[in-house]
Structure 1
Amino acid sequence: MHTSSLSVPSGIANVPPVILSTSSPESASHRVPEQVFEGHESQVKCVCFHPDEKKLVSGSDDGTLRIWDRTTGSVEVLSGHTDWVCDVDVSRDGELVVSGSDDTTVRMWNRELGETVHVFEGHENYVISVQFSADSRRVVSGSGDETARVWSVETGKLAFEPIKCHGRVYCVSYSPSGDRIASGADSVQIWNAETGSGLLSIRNSKVVSLAWTADGTYIIGGGRGKVTIWNSHNGQQLRTWQAHNNVATIKLSLSPSGSHLATRGWNDKTAFVFDVSTGERVATLQHDEDVYGIVYSPSGQFIGTGCDDGRVYLWE
């Protein structure tokens, strides 16, 4: 379950528009993983929690999804994609899993049976981002073919015509209320979730990862090593800070409380946790190889990461 619909701390309004984090990797708390899951045969691109947090779902360049039970250590393998698995999400009731792949398809799985329910076909390039709507009746996907597409979970068909975006789509995300969809490409764009009509386009806003605040007022984007917060209604930039020293793309996940932001950079063995209100780096998650997937659990107690070494890490 993507934890992307979250709140901004009340004190954040007093933070300056540009935050220069004064913390260093040395000053941030260095964490040790609680659990490590092994089994993938290649890098782990994406990680997602089951709503009850007892299971994690991961997708890998080996073309498989794996469902890890962190209480028993058991693992289920979902096979069907013919190329890298780029993103995964779990429905709110935990019964369905959706995945996007370099093979250009979106697959929906019955988690308990381990069987494919639908194969959504139509994208003409890799599918790098997928997410269930809050009511789990629809799935949105974003692709290198420069479109976002909304699919009916019931029929397996498009809900409406593909949404044409500004360049390759790196991320898509439903708003908490489900009435809007944000896409991240060469710019951040916001769309009517029922019709696909455009509502807002934010200039100079190339991102590869997005998260909404709980009330839908703000949207947080990660790209080019920076974190930026915008007003989702008028596109006004609220603040920005450099999350990773190298100019690189970043993946991010916001805690359920909205107080902390977990990030990872490109070609970076370290993930960081920031205090959203100050931009201060408060925790360091060190890996032996490059980090790819990163996500907060629904309660905020855990962070899951996927790594180039084929492992999934659980951090508290």
Structure 2
Amino acid sequence: MAATTHKASPKAPAQPTPKEQLVPHVKMTLKGHEESVNEVAFILGTRFLVSGSEDKSLRVWNLDTGKQVGEPLLGHDADVRALARSPNGRWIVSGANNGSILVWEIATNKTESELKRVPVSFKGHGSFVENVVFAPDNETFASASWDQTVCVWKRETGEIVLGPLKVGSVAFSVAYSPDGTKLAAGTDERIIVWNLKTGKELLKIEQRAYRVAFTPDGLRLVSGNRNDIRISDATTGNIIKQFDAHTDADFTSLAIAPNGTKLATTSVDRTTRFFDLTTFEPIGGPLEHPDGVWGVVFSKDSQFIATGCADKIVRTWTVPLSETELQQSTEKILKKTIISQQPYPRRAPIQTSRFFDGFDPHSSSARSNTDGFKNTMHRLFSRSSASNDHVPPRRSIPLVDVFATRGKHRTANRHTAERDKKLQQQRPPRKQAHTGASSSNTPPAGTSNVIGGATPVTLQTGGANASATTTHPSPLDVEHVSDTTCFAVLTGCFPRLSRTRQTNAAAPRTR
């Protein structure tokens, strides 16, 4: 017998847990350099990436096509060792092993990118320019050199506006605080922080730092030694956390994600690794390269990185999510799910077809002018919240045609006609203003046309001449209404008020 298979019921998609990580992978491999790639940088506001190499050139890459844009940018007479772009995406600065610095202006459009060297000489360093970085103002940049100095340059003129600042050992890196008021330098012996307005030294941390960077909030300094990473307080210099990143070989570079959630480090051990800046735990596994990795940079949205490798290739990678990002992502998904599952509130409908259900025109409240008016108005302008399962039975009151006054007719219910009959009998007879001749079609005096088999009602048109009658319409002339109409109910509710007004109008006024 064939086995019976049961189709599994659909399940809601599983929500990611803090331990689940997205597996990073290579998005693009960019080939063209002839020597090791030392530095890379995303050009903000564009889909371009620039790289610097020991082949003495810079190259621009289109991240949509993976192709090189234009010819290699030549100008340096030595290996390009340092590279940085301005915050506004308009300028690129590069430093070489012979101490030279060049600034390039970026001219971009939708299809092409072009870099041009600015004819300004930046002379001041006498040895390798190990690191360069632009200030938040886009007008100045800083450099660190093996000549044991740090300089701050005016981009437009090539003038040194601060420095050379002597640090006492090889200067490996420089970093600006997010607000541009501080400058930090990592050297072979210590980390030094200056006030850029006064040039005064603010902080000195006795620890070697090949690379140093401020976190996006400006509260912490992240630095890398040979194989460990340190997180320090940017004001006091106290170490907050210290952990090993690359234990088998020297650390080479680091980058902090713009959203402040994670840190990326590279090493000659051929890997790029990620760490959570909240928990300081590793994020996912290392990104494996064929050779030592020299440079790393995050994209503006923190979702991609680019690395420069000793195998002459530039690579772009997806970035794993940190635990903080996973938690935020999970909360957003849950919030959207809860909102999507909540039904929109519905207002109770107005039950117009059952508006007068359960309303008794002969009740004491209906017969009272004030109470009846309030009760009717309340029912007229309020919504019915009663369930359809508990609606009182509908009342059907037969209608009759009743002679009103001066030859006019009105439609009323049977109970109103009987009340009018009694009132007519109690009133004294009035003189007939006009007596019409009896018609051959007029029913006998004292009868009325009753719809729906109602009890006949005696009608008198008043006066001494009791034989005088008025022609009544036939049953075919009267519309048969199965339910109580608004007019009929209101007529039953307020007859006393109408008669009172008529009596007051006829009575003589007294002073």
TM class by shorter chain equals: 0.7 to 0.9
One of 34, 39, 53 as aligned partner of 2:27: 34
Q: Given residue 83 of structure 1, which amino acid in structure 2 is its aligned partner?
A: A
Structure 1 CA distance, aligned partners of 2:228 and 2:156? 38
- CA shift at 1:92, angstroms? 1.9
Match of 1:6 in 2: none
Match of 2:295 in 1: 293
Cα distance change on mapping 1:230 and 1:182 into 2, 3 Å: same
Task: Select between 125-134 and 44-53 the one with higher mean Cα deviation.
Answer: 44-53
Task: Map residues 160-179 of structure 1 onto 2, 5 A cutoff.
Answer: 160-179=162-181
Are the counterparts in 1 of residues 248 and 269 from structure 2 also a CA contact under 8 Å? no
Task: Select between 284-293 and 171-180 the one with higher mean Cα deviation.
Answer: 284-293
1:78 and 2:91 correspond = no
Are the counterparts in 2 of residues 225 and 248 from structure 1 also a CA contact under 8 Å? yes
Match of 2:133 in 1: 131
Match of 2:343 in 1: none
| Unmatched runs of 5 consecutive residues or more in structure 2 | 1-18, 108-113, 319-511
- CA shift at 1:53, angstroms? 5.3
One of 244, 248, 256 as aligned partner of 2:246: 244
| Unmatched runs of 5 consecutive residues or more in structure 1 | 1-22
SS in 2 for 1:166: coil
- CA shift at 1:61, angstroms? 0.5
Are the counterparts in 2 of residues 190 and 199 from structure 1 also a CA contact under 8 Å? yes
Q: Given residue 196 of structure 1, which amino acid in structure 2 is its aligned partner?
A: G
Task: Select between 138-147 and 160-169 the one with higher mean Cα deviation.
Answer: 160-169
Task: Map residues 55-74 of structure 1 onto 2, 5 A cutoff.
Answer: 55-72=48-65, 73-74=67-68
Cα distance change on mapping 1:276 and 1:40 into 2, 3 Å: same
Deviations 1:60-82 (CA, angstroms, capped at 9, x unpaired)? 01011111111132324211111
- CA shift at 1:247, angstroms? 5.3
Match of 1:145 in 2: 147
Match of 1:51 in 2: 44
Are the counterparts in 1 of residues 98 and 126 from structure 2 also a CA contact under 8 Å? no
1:98 and 2:93 correspond = yes
Q: Which runs of 4+ in 1 moved over 4 A?
A: 27-30
SS in 1 for 2:117: strand
Structure 2 CA distance, aligned partners of 1:53 and 1:229? 32
Task: Map residues 113-262 of structure 1 onto 2, 5 A cutoff.
Answer: 113-117=114-118, 118-185=120-187, 186-203=189-206, 205-246=207-248, 248-262=250-264
SS in 2 for 1:241: strand
Report the structure, 1 or 2, having the larger helix content.
Answer: 2
Report the structure, 1 or 2, having the larger strand content.
Answer: 1
Question: Percent identity of the aligned residues?
Answer: 34
Q: What is the aligned length? A: 289
- CA shift at 1:28, angstroms? 8.2
Cα distance change on mapping 1:103 and 1:258 into 2, 3 Å: same
Are the counterparts in 2 of residues 169 and 183 from structure 1 also a CA contact under 8 Å? yes
Higher relative contact order (CA 8 A, sep 6+): 1
Are the counterparts in 2 of residues 226 and 250 from structure 1 also a CA contact under 8 Å? no
Cα distance change on mapping 1:275 and 1:161 into 2, 3 Å: closer
Deviations 1:175-203 (CA, angstroms, capped at 9, x unpaired)? 10101100000200001223432111101
SS in 1 for 2:55: coil
Structure 2 CA distance, aligned partners of 1:261 and 1:246? 19
Structure 2 CA distance, aligned partners of 1:127 and 1:314? 25
Output the aligned Cα RMSD.
1.8
SS in 1 for 2:161: coil
Deviations 1:290-315 (CA, angstroms, capped at 9, x unpaired)? 11111111110111000111110000
Task: Select between 185-194 and 249-258 the one with higher mean Cα deviation.
Answer: 249-258
Structure 2 CA distance, aligned partners of 1:168 and 1:179? 24
SS in 1 for 2:311: coil
Q: When the two structures are superposed, what TM-score results if normalisation uses the length of structure 1?
A: 0.87
SS in 1 for 2:253: strand
One of 107, 112, 120 as aligned partner of 2:102: 107
Match of 2:484 in 1: none
Deviations 1:33-57 (CA, angstroms, capped at 9, x unpaired)? 1001110000000111111351111
Q: Given residue 96 of structure 2, which amino acid in structure 1 is its aligned partner?
A: S
Q: Given residue 144 of structure 1, which amino acid in structure 2 is its aligned partner?
A: W
Structure 1 CA distance, aligned partners of 2:37 and 2:86? 21
SS in 2 for 1:31: coil
Cα distance change on mapping 1:247 and 1:261 into 2, 3 Å: same
Are the counterparts in 1 of residues 27 and 317 from structure 2 also a CA contact under 8 Å? yes
Match of 1:20 in 2: none
